[in-house]
Structures are given as structure tokens and as C-alpha cells.
Structure 1
Amino acid sequence: MEVFDPALKGFYVDVLASGRKSFRLRYRFNKALRVVTLGDAAVMSLDDARHAAREWLRQVKAGTDPQAPPVQVLGPTVAAFFTDQYLPYIKSYKRSWDTDDSMMRNHLLPKLGHKHMGAITPPDVAVFVEQMRSEGYAPGTCNRALVLLRYGFTLAVRWKLPGVQSNPVKEVKNLRDDNKIERFLNNAQMASLMAAVRGSESEMLQHIVLFLLYTGARKREVLDAVWADVDWERKSWRIPKTKSGKIRHLPLSAGALQLLGSLRDQSAPVGDAGHALRAEWARRPIFANPKTGLPYVSFFYSWDAARKRAGLPDLRVHDLRHSFASFLVNAGRSLYEVQELLGHADIRTTSRYAHLSRERLFEAVESVPVL
């Protein structure tokens, strides 16, 4: 039996044969008749039921169907999150943020940018990796894209981004990368390279390359070096901006000091130059771009031309760092010494050069004559 309330259209009490009573409401939405149970009359008062019915009808009148399934919150798109939130965040502390920016623009956004963060699943991530592989990208490049995406989702979860409840990238393993390139220059290649850089149109190129070989420093560390960081008395170079974020002091060899001394003689104030002038010079980059007086952003074109002239078209600037390490190991220096000079935080990173010392052991055993 249905007992309707004359004061509120569609609101009624439904009395079952068992005697159980329920408050219900009939209404129309988009011309379709709908019925909703508001509550059990045994636990819900009449006033509360009328209030619930009025609220329900208010939503219907506003054009919202209260019985429609809730809209799933999926959060912003990958493009919106990484552009508007992720990138500004890493710019605040990460010196190499432009690397992430490049990875985003070239790989992440074209393939996943249109998807909502909360809608991405582990299979979506796996497809993303496979797309990169099918385009010919090396496992190392794919893994760097995964690291970027994984960290982005970690931040989204940490920041409680609406719609992002978990990190789907955690379920996808990095690709096995057996293609780590560790190239070391031999004496003939070294001579060929130095001849090529000395003949470069860029006068500064030969000094940059030489200093990289003398110190094993990273490219950006060398390009950002200023005169104030050179301690002539202690024969050391202070590197304030390292990959690990820690200041380190690198001892300078006779060759490195000779190179720096030559550049200092060409640029330092002479005679009775005032303190202010000397202080201003100390803040200048050691390997400044002659056209701007600022650190080089890149010297790729002059480097590319030189390496091709040297017959080493695939040689990377970072290979000069590898070559520095090979010089040390082949000279009998320990991996601990190599780790300290290269500024590796983990000895496992330095262990890649261990095979060089093993080669020296093979040479040593060959010293025993065949009997």
C-alpha cells in the first residue's frame, strides 16, 4: 500500500504486506519516471524523510539526476600535470631540469599527454615503452623516460592529486640495458683528437677538451668553472655545483695548472689594477665564450667538426671522462682513488672500470717466461 503526502508531490510511504514501511519518492527526469527509496520508516523520521525528498527534488530541478553514477575523478591530463606542476617543481632544485623538459616534450607528451593521470594503467605504460622501442630508441633512453614518468606519479600521489591513487609505473620494470658505452681513447686517437681541436675555429675548444682530459670533470662543471674556484697555493679546483649536489675539491695536475696559468696570463688584470677589478675578474668563467663573456651553453658544433676531422665521429664529450679514468687505472691507481677523483657517490658506479685493472693483471702474468 502506498500512502502519498498531499503536501509534497511524489513523496509517499510504501507499506509492505509484512508491515515494513519505507519512505520513497517518485519523480521524472528527462521525461522518464524514476523511484528512489529514501530510508526505512523504522529508523528515519518523517521530517528527515521530507527533507531528503525536497533535497532530491531540488537537484532534479537543477538538471542533475541524483541517481546517476558518480563522475569518476581522473585528475589532470599528463600534459597539464607535467607542464604546470612537475616542471615548475623540479626547476626549483634540479640544475639539469632541461633534460627532463626535453624528455617530456619529445617522448612523454606526444604519446601520453592526452591521457588523464588517474586513467593510466600499467599496460598503458608498457605500451608507451614498446612504442619507444619500436621507434628505435635504446633501452637506456626508454629507461630514462620511465624514471621521469615514475617520479611524476610519485609526486602526484605524494601531493594527493585528485584522481591519482597509485603509481602505475611501479608495476613496469626498466628494460635491461646492456649497451652502456664506455669508450677510452688510445694514444694515437688522443693525438689525432688534440690535433683536430687545436685546428678548430673555436680557440676555446682546445682548452676545454684539454681540461676535461686533465681533470675527468663533467662537461657542465668545466663550463661553469670560475677563476675564484682555483686555489693556486693548494693546486686544487673547487667545484661548487656537482651532480650529487655536494661541493668537492679536485687536485690539479701539472698539465692542468699549466693550462690554467696560460689562460690566466691572457685574461687577468695586470699591474696596479684595483681590488674591485680583480674581484670582478675572479667571478668570470675560466672558459668563457669570447663573444659573450658568459659560460658556453653548448660547444657541440665545433666539437662535432673536430671529432669528425680526427676520424672519431662517434666520440662523445663524456668519453673524455672515461678516458681520464682509464689513464688512472692503467697507471696502477686504485678504484677508490678513481672514485674520489671522478666524484662518484657510489663505488658501484666506478666499478665499471674494474676490467681495465684486470687487463693489467693479465699483462703482469705474461711477465712469467714460458718454461
Structure 2
Amino acid sequence: MPKVKLDHAFCLTARCIDGRKKTDYWDTHIRGLVLETRSSGGKTFYFRYVDPHGVQRQHKICVYGDLTVDKVRKEAERLRSDITLGGDPSAKKAEVKATPTYSDLAADHLAHAKTYQRSYDTTEMYVRRHILPRWGKVRLSDIHQRDIAVWLSEKQAEGLAPATVEKIRVTFGRSFELALRWDVPGVVKNPVRGIKRPPINNARERFLTVAEAQRLSRAVANSRNTQLKYIVGLLLLTGARVSELLNAEWQHIDAERKAWFIPTSKTGKPRYVPLSQAALDLIEHIPRFTNCPYLLPNPKTRKPFGDIKHSWQHARKAAVLGDLRIHDLRHSAASFMINAGIDLFAVGKVLGHANYASTMRYSHLANDTLMAAVEAGAAKQKVDWAGSA
């Protein structure tokens, strides 16, 4: 066990003693610093010490040449100070190795989400497309709030909508909330929590006019998707959400009570949608398929459509309504009801809003109806109040 001063000159020429597989050279100034030389010609710096339990440990500093000898000596001094204060470098290293990467946590997160989340496909997409490419290989203990904040800002700078960036933030944060609940090694807090949510204004006013609805009706009637005319028609006549209609079943349609029962809505609660006579007449024309429970299935698979994006895009293009989203049909249904004089509370009940605040986005339409009412009232009075003043 040769003892020497491990300086640059000695380490440069140090060799394994002939006839041995390796030779350890211990530093005379820093207790525990060792240069291991091997018969193969390789050399490595280690720091050896006794841990708090009395067990001799070895901590690798680096392969010779990766750091200057001066930096190796400074690292050895730091390790010596850490041990003097009760630290254990090997334990810390083992703890780091035991800390999973985000990809491990993501797999557990998605497996958990799949057991209960109706929007699982959306969550999986955000994790796969946005979060994993940046954080998948990073250990959970190395993911810090500042880095996440910078990354989210970059996402928005790439052109993603603020609402999309917010969904990514929420999904990422959910991963860490689960990690804390499950006591995942390396996670002591949620680094996403505390990052400010940017102001989001996704309000978009797009309501069909009567003329536009008629053009759309002609376009969907000519669609290659023979179910599209029924889907679009019922969306406008009921104000239902697309997912609710695509998963609707015949057993839940009660023509006698003029009601459609939705077992599970977006709010998580069941609800009834009133069916107008026009809606019932349309439902009467929907073809039924043998041993198929669904109201509007894909005729080929007899299962609910995954989406109707392709046929919808063709139809709106044919109707010259390129800016119309499928969800705008729900808004338009509300618009037609309100312009017919129906109050906001009733419209909210039809749409299945969980709270009145959701319905208030249509309040300006109600104001138009109220304005028409006061104008009609003024006309009936036939009094020139300004002239009589």
C-alpha cells in the first residue's frame, strides 16, 4: 500500500507494480484519496472511508484524465468534509440509482389513469407527445421547478395554444402528485406546483345562422358517412356533447317521455336531455343494426365512431363553413334556444351545465332577446315621450 503525494507529476507516470493485477497509491495529505493503477494500464481515482455503521466503503471519483488532479483533490477534500459531518457518499449514490426516471413514473401514471379516466387517450397523448420527449430519461430528483417553467414557456413559444400548454402542465403535475402519494424514491415535492398559470382566454364566439344551418344540412346529407346527417342534426337539436351522442344507446331513448338518458356525462353525473318532436322525427329515420345497441354506430364496425373528423371536415368545406368546429354546434343549439326567448337557466339545464357560470357565456345572446322585447314593448305604447316633455 504505497503512500505518495498524488500530484500531477506522479499520477502521470504511475504504473502498476510488475507481477500484480493492480496497485493502490494512497495520498499522504488527504486521507482516503487513492489512485488505483491496473496491469492493463488503466487508472482510476477513488475515495475510501468508513461509513457511520463501521463498514469500509469506496466512492469512485473519476477515471484518470477525466478531471485534472487538482480538481480530483478538491473533490476528495469535499468528500472528507462531508463524511466528517456525518455524510455517506455511497448511500447518496445508491439513493440516486434507486430514483426512477420520469418514463417509469409516466408508465405508472398512465396505468392508473386507464382504470378510471374517461379522457385517458387525451392524457396519454400529452404524456407521449410532449412530456416524455423532454423528461423521459431524467431522474425524478433532477426535475426542478425552474427548468419546467422554462420548458413550458418554450412550448408556448412554439405556437401551442395557452390552453394546450396548461393541459400539459396539469398532466405533468398530476404525475408528481401520484408519486408523492405512492412514496416514489427521489420525490419530496411536486416541482410543477407553484408555476404560474398563464391567463387563458379560449372563448370563441361562433354560432350558426339559419342560412348556414341550411347549407350544413345539405352538405351532411351528401356525405359518404351516412350517419353524419343524423349526428349533426341531433347535435343541433339537443345541444349534446359529441362524445355523448357518439356513445348513445337505443335503450336510453324514451320516445314516450321525449327524453334521452345519458348515464355518465362530462360532469360525472347522469342526466336527461329533452327531445323535441323534430329530434324524435330524426331518430325515427336512423337505421338500426342487428345486435347493435348503439344509436349511431359506424356501419362497418357496429361500434361507436372514434371520431368523425374526416367526414366533418369535408362537410363543412362543402357548406363553405371552414371555421366551424364540431363543438360549435352545441353553442349554436344554445343560440337558437335563446333567440327563441328561452331563459338562460333553462338552456343551461338542457346543455347539462354543472353551474350557472358556464351558461353565462351566452348571456349576450339573451340580451339581444331582451332588447327585442323592450323594442316591441315601446312600439306598442305609441307614445312620443320626448315630444311630450
TM-score tier (shorter): 0.7 to 0.9
Cα deviation code 1:144-179 (max 9, x no counterpart): 111111222211112221111111222112111123
Q: Which residue is equivalent to 1:256?
A: 279
Cα deviation code 1:258-299 (max 9, x no counterpart): 111122xx437xxxxxxxxxxx74x52111211122211121
Q: Which residue is equivalent to 1:77?
A: 101
Q: Which residue is equivalent to 2:216?
A: 193
Taking structure 1 as the reference length, the TM-score comes to 0.77
Taking structure 2 as the reference length, the TM-score comes to 0.74
Q: Which residue is equivalent to 1:5?
A: none
Displacement of 1:124? 1.5
Instruction: Select 2:326's aligned residue among 317, 321, 332.
Output: 317
Q: 1:109 to 1:35 in 2, by over 3 A?
A: closer
Displacement of 1:79? 2.3
Q: Which residue is equivalent to 2:34?
A: 30
Q: Which residue is equivalent to 1:129?
A: 152
Partners of 1:291 and 1:222 in 2: how far apart?
Answer: 18
Partners of 2:299 and 2:256 in 1: how far apart?
Answer: 28
Q: Is the 8 A contact 1:237 1:252 kept in 2?
A: yes
Unmatched tracts of structure 1, length 5 or more: 1-25, 39-51, 269-279
Q: Is the 8 A contact 2:102 2:140 kept in 1?
A: yes
Q: Which amino acid aligns with 1:81?
A: L
Partners of 1:322 and 1:133 in 2: how far apart?
Answer: 27
Instruction: Select 1:300's aligned residue among 309, 320, 323.
Output: 309
Q: 1:292 to 1:337 in 2, by over 3 A?
A: same
Q: Which amino acid aligns with 2:269?
A: K
Q: Is the 8 A contact 2:47 2:60 kept in 1?
A: no
How many residue pairs match? The answer is 314
Instruction: Select 1:156's aligned residue among 172, 179, 191.
Output: 179
- Correspondences of 1:70-109 after superposition (within 5 Å): 70-71=92-93, 73=96, 75-82=99-106, 84-109=107-132
Q: Is the 8 A contact 1:112 1:128 kept in 2?
A: no
Q: Is the 8 A contact 1:344 1:350 kept in 2?
A: yes
SS of 2:260's partner is: strand
Unmatched tracts of structure 2, length 5 or more: 1-29, 36-45, 62-78
Displacement of 1:215? 1.0
- Larger deviation, residues 139-148 vs 361-370: 361-370
Q: Is the 8 A contact 2:237 2:278 kept in 1?
A: yes
Q: 1:60 to 1:109 in 2, by over 3 A?
A: closer
Q: Between the two proteins, what is the percent identity of the paired residues?
A: 39
Displacement of 1:98? 0.1
Root-mean-square deviation (CA), in Å? 2.7
SS of 2:129's partner is: helix
Partners of 2:47 and 2:173 in 1: how far apart?
Answer: 48
Q: Which amino acid aligns with 1:127?
A: V
